[in-house]
Amino acid sequence: MAFRPNGEPRAGGIPTSPDGGQVEYRLARNSVIREFHKGRLSRLDVCDAHPELLRAGRNLGRPTGDGCPICEQHELVEVTFVFGAKLPPGGICVTSQKELRSYWRREDPVVCYAIEVCVDCSWNHLIRMYPGRSATRKPASRRSPARTGRS
């Protein structure tokens, strides 16, 4: 069974951004947290992590250094799921950056979801969605901006 983290677009299939780039969900996340603190959303509404997501968070989550915005007791962890053709419908929870990059090298395109989870109170929200990059395409080299004539 595929879980759905808070904030994931409910449309079927794999959502992609118009330009195929990264989509940030921070604003949506922050507005959910605001609604919770105003009392318009209950813990039941926002702390509904799927058991699979909680398990992934416990076993594979990377500490974020941020405290949980809901229970304010535990540190959030981030888990990354990869979705794509020939992968399970519920996605694959990657255990390392190395594993993540191995999915990027596949011929079939993949989409990655980073989800923050509090394994204590079950708060969860999608943080960002981004397409897996092909390793054959080299990232543009960053050049330092032209000097602005400051002496």
SS3 at position 4:
coil
> Residues 54, 110, 114, 118: which binds Zn ion (CB under 5 A)?
118
For residue 78, what are the β-bridge partners? 62, 116
Kindly determine how many residues on this chain lie close enough to bind Zn ion according to the rule CB under 5 A.
7
> Residues 14, 33, 71, 92: which binds Zn ion (CB under 5 A)?
71
Pick the closer one to Zn ion by CB: 72 or 107.
72
Closest approach, Cβ 69 to Zn ion, in A, equals 8
**Tokens encoding 49:** 């992590």
Among positions 6-65, residues that touch Zn ion (CB under 5 A) are none
What's the angle, vertex CA 122, arms to CA 57 and CA 99, rounded to 5? 20
CA dist., res. 25 & res. 53, Å (int): 18
**Is residue 68 near Zn ion by the rule CB under 5 A?**
yes
**Is residue 121 near Zn ion by the rule CB under 5 A?**
yes
Burial class (CB in 10 A: 0-12, 13-18, 19+), 44: exposed
Pick the closer one to Zn ion by CB: 33 or 71.
71
Q: Which residues bind Zn ion (CB under 5 A)?
A: 68, 70-71, 118, 120-121, 123
